[in-house]
């Protein structure tokens, strides 16, 4: 790990988000976080990436973690190709849903006992929602979460087309492991579904869900059981615009 | 005053918990209180139960108001009914139930059932019925001398605590210990899970998550879960009653009872009638867009929208943007799919109902099955039908995987019991069985909150004495006895079974001429060989079938009588399987296979010609399958002959070898019956007399075959010993002898005799490795029994040990006198062959039917040593453990 990470002059911005900028630096990609992002988050993301690689998943190779101009940054080897999101946008007529779901299931087929535990993470997030949802609802969410089956599958936590790079030969590499945990694959599926819904892609979201359920051989209800929990987790990530939508997903009951 | 005590006082008699740490402390105080409560008498408990029920009943209206106000759900007036029910009905159901100390006693069998409290109950209470469930759980806890710590739902914690406090304060005023009821005020998952882990039993009412948490806590749990009650209205139903019952139930507390109807499937021919009645009574059928709007409102991502639970039909419609009159009772969606992708197919906990068509009753059942599978496994289902349609009702209840199936009953009020039916126990906790992941499938009541200790005193089981209805004896008695077949019984056709030697020697002549004289037609099968085979019996039975006798007369030794018994059985019951009948038993009364009754076709007469087996009075027969070599030992009182004729005239021609072998067999029968764990006063006399006769007359009969007196007494001895072991059974001596016969072809009587005194020493051990299992057999006492037997046979000595030794020596002397070889080896058994078969023989002897009655329970290794001792003539060991 170098202390100071140098960014080349000819770097190109790939994407710019509220809390980070991702640069194309020729043979590598550097993700520079803004200064308020805690070091622990960056190190956690890098560690997740390393652990995903250790688990045998096709991910960009971690090169270094360091600081540049006071900001934390992660450098990975550049993977040549286009994101699945780009490919979908370029030619919406090609159905890539099965590929997408199979890739997700192939990640779930891996384990890494050192990864963070999904239930711990969700519990933390729900407990942090004191301002937004009532004690009763938090209690119910925690009770529901507690009762969910315990699995130890590697879960990406943000499995969306823009995080998948498709190489020339068709092989796929998954990036952005910031939210990865080990846990229940259905929760990961519910998260992807929710992200697609929040992205306004209702039809794709429904098709995704039914493909996942069919390929995984589980019931729709099994995945839906996680919806209120992942919605709460999204809320905890500070989603503001979709707050009412998320709250409506959270305010459900199995039974009183 | 410590802080802790101050808190208790501020909370009155209640234990109110505000953190997980405090929970641990208060549970300790609660355990103290419960320990005191556990010492209360039934009278004290009943007084507390009465006062507590009364107090809850009085507070039913304010508690209902509080519940509605706090939760924003349900209907106050209906909650009053629930509170009323939880106090009055529960009191009424259990007021006379004994829950303390001895609750049941059967002096004859020495059984007492003693009820004990379980300890601390963790009660999880839902929002839907907070006050009534709290009253219910607290009352049944008090009635059973348990303490109860409540984990309310945070949405209803105020009213839940209020209800619990009312019950508690009345209970304490009536004498209950303070701190016997408590609740968690500051709820957290951690506190609830800690409570579940630390309590003694969990009464959980809640969603799947809660129920799962309860079951995974490691504490025994009575958990219940969601329902999805499907109701069917059959073509034969009283449609008006059905529809109005459903409305009544579905609107009760705005549809929040978990047993409430969620869907109604109506047979096509009464569909319109039902629909019109629903509409006439104020239900709204959702049409066009309305249906979709309500769909999207009630279920979100497959889950029930919390905002509709316990609301009125009007308010739910408004939420969905549908305009209905405020008086609307139920919103009905006429839908097609029963799959859970259909929002209406879910449990809705509100006055929203799905309505389905069904072309046939089977289709309606199929729909209901699916709805139950999707969301209500184990809970409740209901059917409206003409009560006379029992076949349809059966088809319905067989198909429903629900623990309550209600007929012509509003399910909310029907499922909780005692309102619309009067033998379903009243309860607000409805078990859903394994289908619902529960440990109980009934309505939960006081019986689930007590541990029953059964105090069982030692008892001796009934014994019996069974013998043929007629045993005729004395020299020359045979023709007289046979006369009865004709003159008294009017028999027409007799079939004689014997062996070729007896037949050729003219033994059957006397019988045949007597039968002729009486005009009884007869036929004879005379091919019975020693160790009779199944194949031989099959030949015989073929003749019997064509002859169709009404009497079978067995003439001969054990082989002829055994073969005849088997033929009798095969003739009466051609369907009976030997493999099943030969199955060993531990207790002949409790055997798995029941023998078919005998005697419908034939009367069975046994006439022995040797003095040994006693088969004429025993329920035993052994048959060998010549093809497989398997011996089938059959034992059942159905095989007992109806008439035994012991005529000494038939015994006079026995050769010396037979006299010897059968004579020592008699002695073994008598001795084993006498020391058997099943020996009784009824068999003891017979066994002792048989033994005495053997010692007096066997040598004489052996020495002088024509000694009529000796023959006569040996005939009696054989029959007496037969009756003794027919009831007291035998022992390991016979088990071992059976295998010496099977493996090494030593004649049965000698096989018994060659090991007899060794087995006696083995059984006589005062410190056996294991003793026989039978309540009558209280301690190892075989030695004393042998000594009694020896004395009866004329052996004396200064001590029991001396008598025993003198008796053993006397037996050896008798054996030698009648030519019994001293060792197994002397019977010509090849050493290598003996050693090769030894392990298998020992195991089979251990597993022989006769072993069970032996006073000492043998180890296979011990049997093996006995065999070796008897083969090599090793000196007798003490055979102590």
Min mean pLDDT across A54-58, B156-160, B286-290, B337-341 is at B337-341
User: With 70 as the cut, is the pLDDT of residue B10 above it?
Assistant: no
Tokens of residue B658, six digits: 């037979």
Place of tokens 């040996």: B714
Interface contact flag, B302 A220, Cβ < 8 Å: yes
CA dist., res. B28 & res. B185, Å (int): 17
Cα(B569)–Cα(B191) distance, rounded to whole angstroms?
70
**Count of CB contacts below 8 A, A vs B?**
101
For residue B403, indicate whether it is catalytic: no
Q: Which residues of B touch A251 (CB under 8 A)?
A: 300, 305-307
Query: Which residue is closest to B124 within chain A, CA to CA?
Result: A256
The answer to whether residue B846 scores a pLDDT higher than 90 is yes
- Whether B302 and A228 lie within 8 Å, measured CB to CB: no
CA distance B445 to B802: 66
Which residues 23-82 on chain B approach chain A with CB closer than 8 angstroms?
A: 73
**In which band, very low, low, confident or very high, does the pLDDT at B207 lie, cut at 50, 70 and 90?**
low
Chain A residues touching residue B212 (CB < 8 angstroms): 146-147
Q: Which of A131-135, B5-9, B574-578, B765-769 has the lowest mean pLDDT?
A: B5-9
pLDDT over threshold 80, residue B208: no
The lowest-confidence range among B7-21, B459-473, B815-829, B841-855 is B7-21
State whether residue B349 sits within 8 Å of chain A by CB: yes
Q: B730 pLDDT exceeds 50? A: yes
CB contact under 8 A, B154 and A135: yes
CB contact under 8 A, B209 and A252: no
Check B209 against A144: CB less than 8 A apart.
Answer: yes
The answer to whether the CB atoms of A136 and B153 lie below 8 A apart is yes
Contact A224 B213 (CB under 8 A): no
Residues whose CB falls within 8 Å of the CB of residue B350, separated by 6 or more in sequence, listed in order = B254, B255, B256, B298, B308, B309, B310, B311, B313, B316
Is the domain covering B462-653 a CATH 3.40.50.1970 domain? yes
Instruction: Give which of B400, B397, B433, B427 is closest to B415, Cα–Cα.
Output: B427
Taking CB atoms and an 8 Å limit, are A220 and B341 in contact across chains? yes
CATH code 3.40.309.10 region(s) in chain B:
229-418
Helix, strand, or coil (residue A135): helix
pLDDT in tens, B518-534: 999 999 999 998 889 99
Which among A146, A223, A255 is the top mutation candidate for probing chain B, defined by the most B β-carbons within 10 Å of its own β-carbon? A255
Task: State residue A238's pLDDT score.
Answer: 83
Strands B221-224, B352-358: pairing is unpaired
The CATH class that applies to domain A12-77 reads alpha beta
A82-250: CATH architecture: Alpha-Beta Complex (3.90)
Does residue B225 sit at the A interface (CB-CB below 8 Å)?
A: yes
Reference A53, options A186, A179, A182, A174; nearest CA is A174
Answer whether B193 sits within 8 Å of A135, measured CB to CB: no
Nearest chain A Cα to B215, which residue?
A147
- Percent above pLDDT 70 for chain B: 99
Q: Look up tokens 């030949």; give the residue.
A: B539
Nearest to A227 among B206, B301, B374 (CB): B301
Q: A254 and B256 in contact by Cβ < 8 A?
A: no
- The predicted-structure confidence for B51-94, as pLDDT tens digits, reads as follows 999 999 999 999 999 999 999 999 999 999 999 999 999 999 99
**CA dist., res. B696 & res. B690, Å (int):** 10
Asked whether residue A119 carries a pLDDT value surpassing 50, the answer given is: yes
Looking at residue A3, its pLDDT comes to: 62
Sort out which chain B residues have CB atoms less than 8 A from A139's CB and list them: 153-154, 187-189
Q: Is A241 on the interface with B (CB under 8 A)?
A: no
Question: Per the residue annotation, which of B75, B100, B258, B536 is the catalytic one?
Answer: B258
Mean pLDDT of B571-594: 89
Q: Kindly indicate the confidence band of residue A255, based on its pLDDT and cuts at 50, 70 and 90.
A: low
pLDDT of residue A239: 80
**Average pLDDT across chain B, whole number:** 95
pTM to 2 decimal places: 0.87
Instruction: Dump pLDDT digits (tens) for A59-83.
Output: 999 999 999 988 999 999 999 999 9
CB distance B662 to B612 below 8 Å: yes
Q: Do A143 and B208 lie within an 8 Å CB cutoff?
A: no
Residue A13 backbone phi and psi in degrees, to 5: -75, 125
Q: Do the bridges between strand A28-33 and strand A20-24 make them parallel or antiparallel, or are there none, so unpaired?
A: antiparallel
pLDDT of residue A256: 44
- Judge whether residue B676 has pLDDT over 80: yes
* ipTM for the whole complex: 0.85
Residue B148 has pLDDT above 50, yes or no: yes
Q: Does B111 touch chain A (CB under 8 A)?
A: no
Q: For residue B439, name the pLDDT band (cuts at 50, 70, 90).
A: confident
The pLDDT, as a whole number, for residue B182 is 97
Instruction: Tell me how close the Cα of B151 comes to any Cα of chain A, in angstroms.
Output: 12
Domain positions in chain A are: 12-77, 82-250
A136 contact residues in B (CB cutoff 8 A): 153-155
Residue B570: its pLDDT value, please? 95
**Cα gap A124→A121, rounded to integer Å:** 5
- Closest-CA residue to B329 (of B248, B412, B231, B242): B248
Distance of CA B573 to the CA centre of its chain: 29
Of A134, A225, A253, the CB nearest to B309: A253
Pick A249's closest partner by Cβ from B207, B258, B300: B300
* Arithmetic mean of pLDDT, A19-27: 92
Q: Does B209 touch chain A (CB under 8 A)?
A: yes
Residues in chain B: 881
Instruction: Select from B189, B305, B374 the Cβ nearest to the Cβ of A142.
Output: B189
Q: Which residues of B touch A135 (CB under 8 A)?
A: 154, 187
Q: Does A251 touch chain B (CB under 8 A)?
A: yes
Instruction: Please determine, for residue B9, whether its predicted confidence score (pLDDT) is greater than 90.
Output: no
One-character DSSP codes across B152-205: E-GGGHHHHHHHHHHHHHHHHHTTPPTTSEEEESS--HHHHHHHHHHSSEEEEE
Second-level CATH architecture of B229-418: 3-Layer(aba) Sandwich (3.40)
pLDDT at position B475 is 94
* Separation CA B514–CA B551 (nearest Å): 14
CA-angle at B534, arms to B528 and B536, nearest 5°: 35
Closest listed residue to residue B621, CA positions, set B573, B570, B657, B677:
B570
Q: Is B197 on the interface with A (CB under 8 A)?
A: no
Query: Does B207 contact A at CB distance below 8 Å?
Result: yes
Is the confidence at residue B859, as pLDDT, over 60? yes
Tokens of B660: 């010897």
* Nearest residue of chain B to residue A190 (CA atoms): B301
pLDDT tops 60 at residue B6: no
With an 8 Å Cβ cutoff, is A149 touching chain B?
Answer: no
* CA–CA distance, B654 with B648 (Å, rounded to integer): 11
> Percentage of residues in chain B with pLDDT exceeding 90?
89
Q: What are the chain B neighbours of A225 within 8 Å (beta carbons)?
A: 302-303
Distance of CA B663 to the CA centre of its chain: 45
Q: Does A249 touch chain B (CB under 8 A)?
A: yes
Nearest to B616 by CA among B714, B526, B726, B702: B726
* Mean per-residue pLDDT, B188-199: 93
Q: Considering CB atoms only, which of B189, B306, B340 is closest to A146?
A: B189
Asked if residue B622 has pLDDT above 60, the reply is yes
Domain B13-96+117-224 carries which CATH code? 3.40.605.10
Q: Which of residues 706-735 of B touch A (CB under 8 A)?
A: none
Nearest chain A Cα distance for residue B301, angstroms? 6
Average pLDDT over all residues of chain A: 93
- On chain B, the residues whose CB falls within 8 A of the CB of A221 are 302, 340, 374
Where are the CATH 1.20.1090.10 domain residues in chain B?
656-881
Q: Which CATH number fits domain B656-881: 1.20.1090.10, 2.60.120.620, 3.20.20.100, 3.40.430.10?
A: 1.20.1090.10
At A33, is the pLDDT very low, low, confident or very high (cuts 50, 70, 90)? very high
- For residue B218, pLDDT over 70 is answered with yes
Asked whether the beta carbons of residue A139 and residue B154 sit closer than 8 angstroms, the reply is yes
pLDDT for B4 equals 45
- Alpha carbons B572 and B216: distance in angstroms, whole number: 58
From B128's Cα to the closest Cα of chain A, the distance in A is 6
Query: Does the distance separating the beta carbons of A255 and B208 come in below 8 Å?
Result: yes
Find chain A residues with C-beta within 8 A of B320's C-beta: none
A248 touches chain B (CB under 8 A): yes
């Amino acid at each position: 790990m170098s202390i100071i990470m140098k960014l080349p002059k000819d770097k190109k911005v790939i994407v710019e988000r509220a809390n980070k900028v991702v640069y194309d630096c020729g043979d590598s990609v550097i993700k520079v976080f803004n200064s308020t992002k805690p070091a622990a988050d960056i190190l956690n993301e890098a560690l997740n990436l390393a652990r995903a690689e250790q688990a045998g998943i096709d991910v960009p190779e971690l090169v270094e973690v360091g600081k540049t101009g006071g900001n934390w940054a992660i450098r990975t080897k550049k993977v040549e190709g286009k994101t699945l999101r780009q490919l979908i946008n370029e030619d919406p007529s090609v159905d890539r849903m099965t590929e997408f779901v199979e890739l997700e299931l192939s990640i779930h087929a891996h384990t890494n006992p050192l990864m963070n535990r999904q239930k711990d993470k969700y519990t933390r997030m729900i407990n942090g929602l004191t301002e937004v949802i009532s004690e009763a609802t938090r209690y119910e969410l925690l009770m529901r979460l507690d009762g969910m089956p315990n699995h130890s599958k590697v879960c990406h936590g943000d499995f969306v087309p823009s995080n998948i790079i498709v190489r020339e030969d068709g092989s796929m590499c998954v990036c952005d492991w910031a939210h990865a945990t080990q846990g229940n694959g259905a929760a990961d599926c519910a998260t992807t579904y929710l992200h697609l819904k929040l992205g306004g892609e209702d039809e794709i979201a429904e098709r995704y869900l039914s493909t996942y359920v069919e390929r995984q051989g589980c019931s729709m209800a099994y995945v839906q059981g996680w919806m209120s929990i992942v919605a709460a987790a999204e809320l905890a990530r500070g989603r503001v615009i979709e707050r009412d939508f998320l709250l409506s997903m959270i305010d459900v009951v199995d039974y009183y | 005053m410590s802080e802790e005590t101050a808190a208790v006082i501020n909370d009155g008699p209640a234990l109110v918990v505000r953190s997980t740490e405090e929970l641990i402390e208060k549970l300790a105080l609660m355990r103290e209180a419960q320990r005191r409560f556990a010492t209360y008498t039934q009278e004290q408990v009943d007084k507390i139960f009465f006062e507590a029920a009364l107090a809850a009943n009085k507070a039913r209206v304010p508690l209902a108001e509080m519940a509605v106000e706090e939760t924003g759900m349900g209907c106050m007036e209906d909650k009053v009914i629930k509170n009323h029910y939880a106090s009055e009905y529960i009191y009424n159901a259990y007021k006379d139930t004994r829950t303390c100390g001895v609750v049941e006693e059967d002096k004859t069998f020495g059984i007492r059932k003693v009820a004990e409290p379980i300890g601390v109950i963790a009660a999880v209470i839902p929002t839907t019925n907070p006050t009534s469930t709290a009253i219910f759980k607290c009352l049944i806890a008090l009635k059973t001398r348990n303490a109860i710590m409540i984990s309310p739902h945070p949405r209803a914690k105020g009213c839940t605590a209020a209800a619990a406090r009312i019950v508690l304060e009345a209970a304490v005023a009536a004498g209950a210990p303070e701190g016997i009821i408590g609740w968690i005020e500051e709820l957290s998952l951690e506190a609830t899970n800690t409570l579940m882990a630390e309590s003694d039993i969990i009464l959980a009412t809640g969603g799947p998550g809660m129920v799962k948490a309860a079951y995974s806590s490691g504490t025994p749990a009575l958990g219940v879960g969601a329902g999805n009650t499907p109701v069917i209205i059959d073509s034969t139903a009283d449609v008006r009653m059905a529809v109005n019952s459903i409305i009544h139930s579905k609107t009760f507390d705005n549809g929040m009872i978990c047993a409430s109807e969620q869907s109604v499937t109506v047979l096509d021919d009464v569909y319109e009638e039902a629909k019109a009645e629903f509409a006439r009574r104020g239900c709204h059928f959702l049409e066009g867009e309305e249906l979709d709007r309500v769909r999207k409102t009630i279920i979100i991502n497959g889950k029930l929208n919390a905002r509709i639970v316990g609301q009125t039909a009007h308010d739910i419609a408004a939420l969905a943007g549908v305009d209905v009159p405020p008086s609307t009772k139920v919103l009905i969606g006429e839908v097609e799919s029963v799959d859970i992708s259909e929002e209406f197919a879910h449990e809705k906990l509100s006055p929203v109902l799905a309505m389905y068509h069904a072309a046939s009753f089977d289709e309606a059942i199929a729909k209901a099955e699916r709805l139950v599978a999707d969301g209500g496994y184990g809970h409740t289902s209901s059917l409206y039908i003409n009560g006379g349609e029992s076949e349809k009702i059966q088809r319905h209840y067989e198909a429903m995987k629900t623990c309550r199936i209600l007929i012509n009953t509003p399910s909310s009020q029907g499922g909780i019991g005692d309102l619309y039916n009067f033998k379903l126990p009243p309860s607000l906790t409805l078990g859903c069985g394994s289908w619902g992941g529960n440990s109980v499938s009934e309505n939960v009541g006081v019986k689930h909150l007590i541990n029953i200790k059964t105090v069982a005193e030692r008892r001796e089981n009934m014994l019996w004495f069974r013998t043929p209805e007629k045993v005729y004896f004395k020299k020359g008695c045979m023709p007289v006895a046979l006369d009865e077949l004709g003159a008294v019984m009017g028999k027409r056709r007799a079939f004689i079974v014997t062996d070729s030697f007896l037949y050729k020697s003219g033994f059957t002549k006397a019988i045949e001429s007597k039968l002729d004289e009486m005009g009884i037609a007869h036929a004879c099968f005379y091919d019975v060989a020693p160790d009779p085979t199944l194949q031989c019996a099959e030949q015989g039975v073929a003749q019997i079938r064509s002859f169709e006798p009404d009497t079978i007369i067995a003439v001969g030794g054990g082989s002829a009588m055994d073969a005849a018994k088997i033929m009798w059985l095969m003739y009466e019951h051609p369907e009976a399987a030997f493999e099943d009948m030969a199955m060993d038993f531990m207790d002949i009364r409790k055997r798995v296979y029941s023998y078919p009754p005998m005697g419908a076709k034939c009367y069975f007469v046994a006439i022995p010609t040797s003095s040994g087996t006693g088969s004429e009075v025993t329920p035993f027969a052994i048959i060998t399958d010549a093809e497989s070599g398997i011996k089938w030992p059959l034992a059942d009182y159905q095989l007992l002959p109806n008439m035994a004729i012991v005529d000494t005239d038939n015994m006079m021609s026995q050769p010396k070898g037979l006299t010897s072998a059968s004579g020592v067999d008699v002695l073994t029968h008598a001795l084993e019956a006498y020391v058997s764990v099943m020996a009784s006063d009824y068999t003891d006399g017979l066994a002792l007399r048989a033994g005495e006769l053997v010692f007096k007359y066997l040598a004489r009969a052996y020495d002088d075959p024509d000694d009529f007196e000796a023959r006569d007494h040996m005939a009696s001895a054989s029959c007496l010993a037969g009756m003794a072991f027919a009831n007291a059974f035998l022992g390991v001596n016979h088990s071992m002898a059976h295998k010496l016969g099977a493996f090494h072809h030593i004649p049965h009587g000698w096989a018994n005799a060659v090991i007899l005194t060794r087995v006696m020493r083995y059984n006589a051990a005062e410190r056996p490795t294991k003793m026989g299992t039978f309540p009558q057999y209280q301690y190892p006492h075989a030695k004393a029994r042998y000594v009694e037997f020896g004395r009866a046979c004329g052996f004396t000595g200064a001590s029991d040990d001396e008598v025993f030794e003198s008796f053993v020596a006397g037996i050896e002397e008798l054996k030698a006198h009648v030519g019994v070889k001293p060792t197994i080896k002397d019977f010509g058994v090849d050493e290598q062959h003996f050693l090769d078969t030894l392990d298998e023989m020992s195991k089979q002897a251990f597993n022989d039917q006769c072993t069970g009655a032996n006073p000492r329970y043998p180890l296979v290794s011990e049997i093996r040593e006995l065999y070796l001792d008897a083969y090599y003539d090793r000196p007798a060991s003490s055979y102590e453990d």
